[in-house]
C-alpha cells in the first residue's frame, strides 16, 4: 500500500457529471487526485480545469476543437493528447486507479471498454455502455477482474440497498423516477412540448441529452436495461414507481416483504463520491436532508400509455442481444434531432419503436456488430426525418 492519493481519470470532465466529480475530488482532502481529464469540444473549460487540477494528461476527443485552441497556458508537465482513440489508450495507464466514465452517449462505450479491459475500477455514469452492450461489458469486467461501480443515482441506491440481504433473497428492484417536467401532461399537451420546456427538469441539473431522456422517461427505460445487466436481474424483477421529489433514489424489495431504500437530496455528488470511496464512506460535500422541515414523499404508478418509452425499455431488457444498441442509438439521434428543431417531442419514442422493430435482431452479437448497428440506427433516424 502507498499513501499517494487515488488517481482518478475523469472521462467527460467538462460535463455535468465531470464537473461534479471534480468538486468531489477537490473536497476530498487529498484522498483523490484527477490524473486524466477528457473533453470533446469545450477546450476552454478543459484548459481552466488543467490549470487548476494539474493532471498528468488531458485528452481532447474532437481534433478540430483542439486545433482552434491556444494551448500556450497549459501548465508544464500536463500532456495533451488529441482524438477519440486517445481515450482508449490513456485509461489503461498504470497510475490510474479509478476511471469515471462520464462521456455522454454511445461515444462513452470506448472508454468504459478500454478501462475494463485494463482491469480498472470503473465508476460508471455512462449508462449507454450497459444499454448498448450489457452482456459483453459485464463479461469483459469479469474476465479482467475489473469492477463496475454505479454512479447513476438509482443504481447507486440499489447497490447500497443490496448490501442489506443475500442475493437469492432479493424479490425485486424498484427504480424511482421523478416523472420529469411533463408528468401530468395529457397526450395532446405532450405534442406541443418545446425544447426549452423539455430542458427544464424539476429536480435534477444535468446535461441536455439526459434531461430530454428524463422528460420522455426514456432515461428510466435505459435505466431498466442498465439495472438488468449491472445486477444480473430478470427483467420482470425490475419495477418503476413515480416519485416526484427525487429523495428516494430506488429500493430493493426482499422475499419477506422488507423494502430497503436509499434517501438523500437530488445531488449527484453523493453517488459519485460513494463510487470513489466504496467500500468506505466519508463526510464529503453532498447536500443533506433537513429533517426540521416538513418532508412529503409521494408515489404513483407510471403511465405506460402516455410514456411509451417505459414499455420499450422493458421489452429491450427482455430481448437483450442487439436491441439495446439499436434503441440507444435511435434515441440519441432522435433527441439530437428534437434539440435541433427537426423532430417533435412526441415523435422521439415512435421513431425508436419503428427502428427497433425494423432491425435485424441477433441474440449474441459481437462488439463491432453493436457499433455497426449504432451507425445504422442513426441513419434510419435521418431517413425518417427526411420522409
Ligand atoms: P454532459 O452533456 O453534461 O457532458 C458530456 C461530457 O462528454 C462532456 O465532457 C463532453 O465534452 C463529453 N463528450 C460529449 N460528446 C463526446 C464525444 N463524442 N466523445 C467524447 N466525449 C464527448 O452529460 P452529463 O449530463 O454529464 O452525462 C454524462 C453521462 O452520465 C451520460 O451517459 C448520462 O446518462 C450519465 N448520467 C448523468 C447524470 C447527471 O446528473 N448529469 C446522472 C446519471 C447519469
Ligand atoms: Mg438516474
Q: Which of 378, 380, 230 is nearest to 317 (CA)?
A: 230
Considering the chain, what is the average pLDDT of its residues?
Answer: 97
Alpha-carbon gap, residue 87 to 74, rounded angstroms: 19
Largest CA distance in the chain: 63
Dihedral (Cα; 272, 278, 284, 289), 10-degree rounding:
80
What ligand 1 atom has the least distance to the C-alpha of 152? 43
- Report in angstroms the alpha-carbon separations of 80 from 87, 91, 103: 11, 14, 18
Q: Quick one: which ligand is closest to 266's CA?
A: 1
Q: Is 273 in the pocket of ligand 1 (CB under 6 A)?
A: no
Q: Quick one: which ligand is closest to 18's CA?
A: 1
Cα Rg for the chain, rounded, in angstroms?
A: 20
What ligand 1 atom has the least distance to the C-alpha of 16? 26
Indicate the pTM of the whole model: 0.98
Q: What is the pLDDT of residue 385?
A: 93
Q: Is 374 in the pocket of ligand 1 (CB under 6 A)?
A: no
The C-alpha cell of 214 is what? 428524463
Q: Is 61 in the pocket of ligand 1 (CB under 6 A)?
A: yes
Give per-residue pLDDT as tens, 69-100.
999 999 999 999 999 999 999 999 999 999 99
Alpha-carbon gap, residue 262 to 152, rounded angstroms: 13
Strands 248-254 and 259-263: antiparallel
- Strands of 238-242's sheet, edge to edge? 238-242, 170-177, 248-254, 259-263
- The residue whose CB lies within 8 Å of the most ligand 1 atoms, and thus the one to mutate among 9, 11, 14, 17, is 17
- The residue whose CB lies within 8 Å of the most ligand 1 atoms, and thus the one to mutate among 103, 123, 215, is 103
pLDDT tens, N- to C-terminus, the chain (387 residues): 468 999 999 999 999 999 999 999 999 999 999 999 999 999 999 999 999 999 999 999 999 999 999 999 999 999 999 999 999 999 999 999 999 999 999 999 999 999 999 999 999 999 999 999 999 999 999 999 999 999 999 999 999 999 999 999 999 999 999 999 999 999 999 999 999 999 999 888 899 999 999 999 999 999 999 999 999 999 999 999 999 999 999 999 999 999 999 999 999 999 999 999 999 999 999 999 999 999 999 999 999 999 999 999 999 999 999 999 999 999 999 999 999 999 999 999 999 999 999 999 999 999 999 999 999 999 999 999 998
Q: What is the pLDDT of residue 2?
A: 61
What do you get for the CA distance between the two ends of the chain, in Å?
A: 61
- Report in angstroms the alpha-carbon separations of 275 from 34, 89, 134, 336: 15, 23, 19, 30
Alpha-carbon gap, residue 211 to 203, rounded angstroms: 10
Give per-residue pLDDT as tens, 374-383.
999 999 999 9
The C-alpha cell of 2 is what? 502507498
**Cell 494551448 maps to which residue?**
71
Amino acid at each position: 500500500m502507498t499513501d499517494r492519493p487515488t488517481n482518478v481519470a475523469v472521462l467527460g470532465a467538462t460535463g455535468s457529471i465531470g464537473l461534479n466529480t471534480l468538486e468531489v475530488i477537490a473536497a476530498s482532502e487529498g484522498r483523490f487526485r484527477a490524473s486524466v481529464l477528457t473533453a470533446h469540444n469545450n477546450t476552454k473549460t478543459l484548459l481552466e480545469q488543467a490549470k487548476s487540477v494539474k493532471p498528468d494528461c488531458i485528452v481532447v476527443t474532437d481534433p478540430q476543437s483542439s486545433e482552434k485552441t491556444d494551448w500556450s497556458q497549459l501548465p508544464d508537465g500536463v500532456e495533451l493528447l488529441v482524438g477519440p482513440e486517445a481515450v482508449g489508450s490513456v485509461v489503461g495507464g498504470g497510475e490510474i486507479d479509478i476511471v469515471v466514465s462520464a462521456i455522454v452517449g454511445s461515444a462513452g462505450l470506448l472508454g468504459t471498454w478500454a478501462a475494463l479491459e485494463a482491469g480498472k475500477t470503473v465508476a460508471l455514469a455512462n449508462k449507454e455502455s450497459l444499454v448498448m452492450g450489457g452482456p459483453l461489458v459485464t463479461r469483459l469486467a469479469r474476465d479482467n477482474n475489473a469492477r463496475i461501480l454505479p454512479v447513476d443515482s438509482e443504481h447507486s441506491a440499489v447497490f447500497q440497498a443490496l448490501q442489506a440481504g443475500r442475493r437469492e433473497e432479493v424479490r425485486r428492484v424498484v427504480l424511482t423516477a421523478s416523472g420529469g417536467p411533463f408528468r401530468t401532461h395529457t397526450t395532446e399537451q405532450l405534442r406541443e412540448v418545446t425544447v426549452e420546456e423539455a430542458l427544464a427538469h424539476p429536480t435534477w441539473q444535468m446535461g441536455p441529452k439526459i434531461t430530454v431522456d428524463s422528460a420522455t422517461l426514456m432515461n428510466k427505460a435505459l435505466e431498466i436495461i442498465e439495472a438488468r445487466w449491472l445486477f444480473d436481474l430478470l427483467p420482470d424483477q425490475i419495477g418503476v414507481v413515480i416519485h416526484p421529489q427525487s429523495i428516494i433514489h430506488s429500493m430493493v424489495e426482499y422475499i419477506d416483504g422488507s423494502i430497503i431504500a436509499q434517501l438523500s437530496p437530488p445531488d449527484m455528488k453523493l453517488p459519485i463520491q460513494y463510487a470513489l470511496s466504496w467500500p468506505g464512506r466519508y463526510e464529503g460535500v453532498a447536500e443533506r436532508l433537513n429533517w426540521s422541515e416538513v418532508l412529503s414523499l409521494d408515489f404513483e404508478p407510471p403511465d405506460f400509455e402516455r410514456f411509451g418509452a417505459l414499455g420499450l425499455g422493458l421489452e429491450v431488457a427482455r430481448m437483450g442481444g442487439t436491441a439495446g444498441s439499436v434503441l440507444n442509438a435511435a434515441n440519441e439521434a432522435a433527441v439530437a434531432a428534437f434539440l435541433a428543431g427537426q423532430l417533435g417531442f412526441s415523435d422521439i419514442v415512435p421513431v425508436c419503436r419503428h427502428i427497433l422493430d425494423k432491425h435485424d435482431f441477433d441474440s449474441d452479437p459481437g462488439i463491432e456488430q453493436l457499433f455497426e448497428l449504432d451507425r445504422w440506427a442513426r441513419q434510419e433516424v435521418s431517413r425518417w426525418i427526411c420522409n
